[in-house]
Amino acid sequence: MLEFIKKEIKKAVGTEVDFNVSASEKEDFGHYSTNAAFKLAPVLKKSPMAVAKEIELNVKGQKSNVFSKVEAVAPGFINFWLKPEILQKELKEILKKKNKYGNLRSTTYGLRAQKINLEFVSANPTGPLTMANGRSGFYGDVLANVLENAGHKVTREYYINDTGNQIKLLGESILAVAGKIPWKEEYYQGDYIKKLKDKSAKQATTILLKSIKASLKSAGIKHDVWFSEEKNLHKKGELKKTLQFLEKKGLVEKKDGALWLGDGVLIKSDGNPTYFLADLAYHYDKFLKRKFNLAIDIWGADHHGYAQRMKKGIEALGVKPERLKILITQLVRLVSGGKEVKMSKRKGEFITLDELLKEVGAPSSAKATAGKDAARFFFLMHSLDTHMDFDLDLAKERSQKNPVYYAQYAYVRVLNILKRANLRLTTYDLRLLKSDSEVKLMLELVKLPDVLAQTAEDYQVHRLTRYATELAKAFHNFYEKERVIGFGDKNLEQSRLALVSATKIILENLFDILGISKLKKM
RNA sequence: CUCCCCGUAGUUCAACGGAUAGAACGACUCCCUUCUAAGGAGUAGAUCGAAGUUCGAUUCUUCGCGGGGAGACCA
């Protein structure tokens, strides 16, 4: 819809200039508004208001005018009201395309389909998944959905660091907890280590990885590829190959008995490879062997300092650094009783993802997965840059008020109406839909493609949860104001049923992308 | 010491450089003989400070103040 309106306005603007169109938040500002006059004013050396007036006149003079009202407003905004036919036509489009509405593959958004590798979670198999892993897990899962919906080919990947120092430590920790070797400060603690007694490091890794997979499954987070550092890189000699590749290019230096690439060590003076080299080999694999156009890595803020080195590293591999996008998620702080509780994986002090899902679940619900939706929505509401404060007690208390239920309840209401209705969507006349709440609902419904397109561009996934709340609000409002079934007017009833059907479609498409359950009853 | 992120209603968070800064929860008023009140209508309530750029700054720049995170031959 935005693109469509922009095109219309562009005709009236004439001059080539970059401007914005956005859906208005207030009724006074029309359905949509633009800042085109502000952008054009310096070019024409006129005041924004004068330019706005001119554009207003041009729009009004157009033959195929799609607006019922155009208004230039001080200091230079132009507000647009869509003709009802335009909205009605779009509503028909929803009813026709059904679950394909919002799918950008077939639209004019002009996105070039890319082969994308999205790597997320990738927690070391040295302990259970924590709730912080949940944050990047939910985010990555939904981002993948959004990118796929935009027509990209997405591989969801989990990189398993199943070799190296931390695995060695894990093995020693198990022995130390059992009293077989002396204790060291850096060892892992926690009950789960005790349960692993008599297991070798390798066995323990396998067991822990299994539990990680189980946690992700119950959280509804999907991965396509489980990439083992040990099997897919070390055993295949990929580190050596990558090192040779860099040496051939003359980029590797020897200093203090170690091999360096820039300011990063590739091979330690004891002859062992570093994580950096393994990571380079991994990205060599992503870009040069598997030929992804774009790799998106989601990392925790505790690794952000490493991003710069990684970018330089892949540049050394001959890959343009823009092809690697590193998204940093800020850490989740755990708060209890107003005080921060330090989480430490090593010390075994953390809240696992499993615990979170269990605690946040609504007690009234019989469904075991109830917490899944609440936790997912909670994390997805926040931008990745927020330093979230998470109070488990508060979360438990508030979980019943989680906005996810607000959205799901709207869906339940939709289903109830349709269940009771004698629905024959052949006789409806959308022109009958002109009350305030009906128009507002329509305006929300048609936003879906815009919201999805923007998110596929800027990765701001939290926009989707906001949209879900706004859409639900528009529907609840409509539900309250207008009766759909059995109020006497059969024609209007059919028209409203069409509107409700369209709402069902949009909610379903949105829930699918968010990974939220489509509850039939609440 | 250097670098990165953050600072917005009582609380948790939104706001491509745009209009009267939005939601949710909490507080306070109202609304269930009608498709589930897990709902609706309404009230009160906020940009850390100081300069600068701009027609316009929560947003950009600089400097403070406060919080979080980095700065290994760990991963």
Residue A380 CB in 7 A reach of strand B: no
The answer to whether the C-beta of A477 is closer than 7 A to strand B is: yes
Nearest nt to the A48 alpha carbon by C1' = B55
The residue out of A349, A381, A401 marking a domain boundary is A401
CA A409 to C1' B40, whole Å: 14
A473 CA vs B30 C1’ separation (Å): 20
Which residues are CB-contacts of A441 (< 8 A; sequence separation ≥ 6)?
A: A474, A475, A477, A478, A499, A503
Single-letter residue type at A321:
P
Task: Examine the fold and report which residue of A275, A301, A329 is the final residue of a domain before the chain moves on.
Answer: A329
Mean pLDDT of chain A: 89
**Residue A522 is assigned to a structural domain of this protein:** no
Q: Supply the pLDDT for residue A426.
A: 65
Q: What is the mean pLDDT of residues A30-57?
A: 89
CA of A61 to C1' of B11 (A): 51
Q: How many domains does chain A have?
A: 4
Cα separation values, A38 from A51, A80, A300, A367, Å: 8, 16, 40, 53
Question: Looking at the domain assignment, is residue A483 inside a domain?
Answer: yes
What pLDDT is attached to residue A209? 96
Would you say the C-beta of A473 is within 7 Å of strand B?
Answer: yes
Residues 418-447 of A with CB under 7 A from strand B: 420
The residue assigned the tokens 């505790």 is A302
User: Is it the case that residue A345 has pLDDT exceeding 50?
Assistant: yes
The CA–C1' separation of A444 and B41, in angstroms, is 20
* Domain-located, residue A520: no
Q: Which nucleotide is nearest to A520 (CA to C1')?
A: B36
Check whether residue A22 has its CB closer than 7 Å to nucleic acid strand B: yes
Q: Is the CB of A257 under 7 A from strand B?
A: yes
Using DSSP's 3-state secondary structure scheme, residue A282 falls into: helix
d(CA A424, CA A128): 52
Residue A475 lies in a domain: yes
Tell me, what's the pLDDT at A138?
95
Query: In chain A, pLDDT over 70 holds for what percent of residues?
Result: 95
**CATH code (residue A153):** 3.40.50.620
Is A16 (CB) below 7 Å from strand B?
no
Protein CA A382 to sugar C1' B2 (Å): 30
* Domain boundary, last residue among A280, A310, A329: A329
Statement to judge: residues A239 and A251 lie in one domain: yes
Question: What's chain A's Rg over C-alpha atoms?
Answer: 27
Tell me the percentage of chain A whose pLDDT exceeds 90.
62
What is the model's pLDDT at position A365? 46
Strand B lies under 7 A from the Cβ of residue A302 = yes
In a domain, A519, yes or no: no
| Cβ A28 to strand B below 7 Å | yes
Which range has the worst mean pLDDT, A107-121, A137-151, A219-233, A305-319? Answer: A107-121
User: Per-residue pLDDT averaged across A168-194, rounded?
Assistant: 91
Bridge partners, residue A21, by sequence: A34
Q: Which one is predicted more confidently, A64 or A222?
A: A222
Judgement on whether residues A107 and A120 belong to the same structural domain of the protein: no
Whether residues A137 and A77 fall in one domain: no
pLDDT in tens, A413-438: 999 999 888 666 667 888 888 888 99
pLDDT in tens, A25-41: 888 889 999 999 998 88
SS3 assignment, position A469: helix
- How sure is the predictor about A213, in pLDDT bands with cuts at 50, 70 and 90? very high
CATH code for the domain of A454: 1.10.730.10
Which nucleotide, over all strands, has the C1' atom closest to the CA of A164?
B75
Q: Is the CB of A406 under 7 A from strand B?
A: yes
Same domain, A133 and A198: yes
Whether residue A235 is contained in a domain is answered as: yes
* 3-state DSSP assignment of residue A299: strand
- A469 CA: nearest nucleotide by C1': B23
Pair (A324, A342) in one structural domain = no
Distance from residue A198 (CA) to nucleotide B6 (C1'), in Å?
45
Query: Given this model, what pLDDT does residue A424 score?
Result: 61
The confidence score (pLDDT) of residue A366 equals 44
Residue A119 included in any domain: yes
Of the candidate ranges A16-30, A76-90, A188-202, A299-313, the one whose mean pLDDT is the lowest: A16-30
Instruction: Give the nearest nucleotide to A29, CA to C1'.
Output: B19
Q: Which pLDDT belongs to residue A337?
A: 63
What average pLDDT does the segment A245-258 reach?
94
Are both A325 and A412 inside the same structural domain? no
Q: Are residues A185 and A317 in the same domain?
A: yes
Residue with tokens 């091979």: A267
- Tell me whether residue A60 is in a domain: yes
ipTM (interface predicted TM) = 0.92
Q: Residue A59 pLDDT more than 70?
A: yes
| Mean pLDDT value across residues A340-361 | 80
d(CA A315, CA A323): 10
pLDDT bin (cut points 50, 70, 90) of residue A522 is confident
For residues A396 and A411, state if they share a domain: no
Query: Residue A218's closest CA among A157, A122, A138?
Result: A138
CATH number at residue A59: 3.30.1360.70
Among A43, A81, A76, smallest CA distance to A60 is for A81
Query: Is the CB of A412 within 7 Å of strand B?
Result: yes
Asked whether residue A160's C-beta has any atom of DNA/RNA strand B within 7 A, the reply is: no
A33 touches strand B (CB under 7 A): yes
Categorize the per-residue pLDDT at A329 as very low, low, confident or very high, splitting at 50, 70 and 90: very high
The predicted pLDDT at position A82 comes to 92
Whether the beta carbon of A367 falls within 7 A of nucleic chain B: the reply is no
Q: Does residue A47 lie within 7 Å of nucleic acid chain B, judged by its CB?
A: no
The whole domain housing A13 covers 2-82
Nucleotide nearest to A32 (CA to C1'): B19
Based on the domain organization, do A395 and A406 belong to the same domain? no
- One domain, residues A374 and A321: no
CA pair distance A457, A111, nearest whole angstrom = 9
Nearest to A510 by CA among A329, A401, A377: A377
Nearest nucleotide (C1') to alpha carbon of A364? B38
Using the structure, give the distance in angstroms from the CA atom of A303 to the C1' atom of B31, rounded to a whole number.
Answer: 53
Stated pTM of the model: 0.93
Asked which of A210-224, A246-260, A414-428 is least confident by mean pLDDT, the reply is A414-428
Cβ of residue A449 lies below 7 Å from strand B: no
A18 CB contact with strand B at below 7 Å: no
Peptide bond into A128 cis (omega under 30): no
Same-domain pairing of A427 and A475: yes
Whether residue A350 sits in one domain with residue A225: no
Answer yes or no: is A311 CB < 7 A from strand B. no
CB A463 within 8 A of CB A454: yes
* Strand B–CB A460 distance below 7 A: yes
Distance separating the N- and C-terminal Cα atoms of chain A? 33
